[in-house]
Amino acid sequence: MSVHVGVIGVGMIGQDHIRRLTKVLSGAEVVAVSDVDLSQAERVAKELSGARVFATGEELIASKSVDAVVVTSWGLTHATYVLAAIAAGKPVFCEKPLATTQGDCSRVIDAEVAHGRRLVQVGFMRRFDAHYVALKATITSGAIGAPLIFNSAHRNPSVPASYTSEMALVDTAVHDIDTARFLLDDEPVAVSVKSPRRNSRGGALSDPLFTLMEMRGGALVTIETSVNIAYGYDIRGEIVGETGVASLAESNPIIVKSASTFSGRVPMDWKERFGRAFDVEVQAWLIAAARGEVTGPSAWDGYVATVVTDAGVRAIQSGERVPVTLREQPALYRAS
Ligand code: NAD
Ligand code: ISE
């Protein structure tokens, strides 16, 4: 039987998730949509057979016709909807960030702990990407010895004029921060941020940005964010271990050799690079939701990412190394 899904916030990624729920994956029916821009919600609903438009996200969540909720509105609004979904006892898939403040992330954790079981999956899709899964398996196998350094690069060809230097951390490097925790199976303890000479394509933006994250077990994580690099959307990752190195391969399926050169396509955006990872991520959420359960990246993972990006923003402002202080991890999240 299909999971009846309601989607809140039907902009770019909301529509992309609706496409995968209705055209790519199995086991879902999108029965409800909502957006502060009502005309946008109506346009999207028109393309779906039988989807109802709700004036507010809260009404959508409360509706008996909705079994599970996807939150793809702007980050500032996520916590309200996630808390409402928990109160209604419904599984919720929330795009990153879980919430924009540590306080709101903690409120989500408290609500879920009070509910007694997990209801929230956060949209850190890299954990479902075959390349990162293989990298983690290599580390776990011991093939390169204990991991010492994770070098991560997150490059976007361009960003809109509204993009700020802080978004390089909060909106972009947040994925690398979560990936580091996933690969190293460890928590961060401090963060420092430096910027080299600016890319002239970014105007006053501090771009690139270089983040150094220190992990509890002593490993170091370097994160380069370059968001005006023109040539493509290039995601790079390398683990330096005690006896070897493992790196993400290029993501294109073929290389072409011609006229004494070899070449391959570089993806141009996150949809192209992580398309398959998004499919696997949302399918995993659906399978669990059909059982009334939730797996995948948790509210705890969303909370830690926000604590680190908060610390990183303070590190940009002060130029200092900023400690990362986490609350005690509730038992609900220890095995996930
Ligand atoms: P967008 O601006 O294209 O779409 C957001 C939509 O939410 C808009 O239609 C807007 O009208 C609506 N909205 C805003 N506030 C609302 C509210 N209170 N209630 C209902 N609807 C509301 O933005 P986007 O690029 O689709 O991003 C949405 C979220 O997805 C962001 O949190 C972003 O960080 C995340 N995102 C994640 C990835 C990823 O790689 N995982 C990629 C892109 C975006
Ligand atoms: C966007 O919001 C994402 O989440 C993408 O994965 C990231 O690459 C991009 O920089 C962000 O703006």
Which two three-digit tokens encode residue 97?
């960030």
Ligand 2 pocket mutation pick from 126, 270, 274 by most atoms within 8 angstroms of CB = 270
Same domain, 146 and 69: no
What distance in angstroms lies between residue 72's CA and the mean position of ligand 1's atoms? 5
Q: Is residue 336 predicted with pLDDT exceeding 80? A: no
* Residue 175, in any domain of the structure: yes
Q: Exposed, middle or buried, 231 (CB in 10 Å: 0-12/13-18/19+)?
A: exposed
pLDDT band of residue 76 (cuts 50, 70, 90) is very high
Atom of ligand 1 nearest to the CA of 80: 18
Protein residue with least CA distance to atom 11, ligand 2 = 172
Q: What's the total number of domains in the chain?
A: 2
Same domain, 155 and 255: yes
The single-letter code of the amino acid at 18 is I
* Residue 333, in any domain of the structure: no
What distance in angstroms lies between residue 147's CA and the mean position of ligand 1's atoms? 35
* Residue 336, in any domain of the structure: no
Average pLDDT, the chain: 97
Of 97, 42, 31, the closest CA to residue 309 belongs to 97
Mean pLDDT, rounded, for 58-85: 98
Cα of first residue to Cα of last residue in the chain, in angstroms, is 27
Per-residue pLDDT tens digits for 142-195: 999 999 999 999 999 999 999 999 999 999 999 999 999 999 999 999 999 999
* Residue 200, in any domain of the structure: yes
Same domain, 27 and 165: no
What three-state secondary structure class fits 29? strand
What distance in angstroms lies between residue 239's CA and the mean position of ligand 1's atoms? 32
Q: What pLDDT is attached to residue 1?
A: 76
Same domain, 180 and 118: no
Q: What pLDDT is attached to residue 89?
A: 98
Same domain, 226 and 280: no
* Residue 332, in any domain of the structure: no
Mean pLDDT, rounded, for 327-335: 94
Q: Which ligand is nearest to the CA of 225?
A: 2
In eight-state DSSP terms, residue 71 is E
Same domain, 27 and 134: no
Mean pLDDT, rounded, for 26-55: 97
Q: What pLDDT is attached to residue 226?
A: 98
Helix residue spans in 1-72 (DSSP H) = 12-19, 38-46, 57-62
pTM: 0.97
Q: Is residue 20 predicted with pLDDT exceeding 90? A: yes
Confirm if 315 and 323 have CB atoms less than 8 A apart.
no
Protein residue with least CA distance to atom 40, ligand 1 = 270
- Beta strands 92-94 and 120-122 are parallel
Q: Which ligand is nearest to the CA of 95?
A: 1
What distance in angstroms lies between residue 256's CA and the mean position of ligand 1's atoms? 37
For ligand 2, which residues put their CB under 6 angstroms from it?
A: 156, 171-172, 175, 270
Q: Exposed, middle or buried, 140 (CB in 10 Å: 0-12/13-18/19+)?
A: exposed
Q: What pLDDT is attached to residue 246?
A: 98
Atom of ligand 1 nearest to the CA of 75: 32
CATH number, position 71: 3.40.50.720
pLDDT band of residue 100 (cuts 50, 70, 90) is very high
Mean pLDDT, rounded, for 240-244: 98
Per-residue pLDDT tens digits for 279-321: 999 999 999 999 999 999 999 999 999 999 999 999 999 999 9
Ligand 1 pocket mutation pick from 7, 10, 13 by most atoms within 8 angstroms of CB = 13
Which two three-digit tokens encode residue 115?
């509910």
* Residue 334, in any domain of the structure: no
Same domain, 286 and 253: no
Same domain, 136 and 246: yes
- Which residues form the domain of 171? 127-269+305-323
Ligand 2 pocket mutation pick from 126, 165, 175, 281 by most atoms within 8 angstroms of CB = 175
d(CA 141, CA 139): 5
What distance in angstroms lies between residue 114's CA and the mean position of ligand 1's atoms? 28
CA 290 from chain center: how many Å?
Answer: 22
d(CA 88, CA 188): 33
What three-state secondary structure class fits 220? strand
The single-letter code of the amino acid at 46 is K
What distance in angstroms lies between residue 21's CA and the mean position of ligand 1's atoms? 17
Q: What pLDDT is attached to residue 164?
A: 95
Mean pLDDT, rounded, for 310-335: 96
Same domain, 133 and 88: no
d(CA 277, CA 284): 11
* Residue 62, in any domain of the structure: yes
Same domain, 310 and 292: no
Same domain, 185 and 312: yes
Per-residue pLDDT tens digits for 185-224: 999 999 999 999 999 999 999 999 999 999 999 999 999 9
* Residue 328, in any domain of the structure: no
Which sign does the torsion angle of CA 225, 250, 244, 305 carry? positive
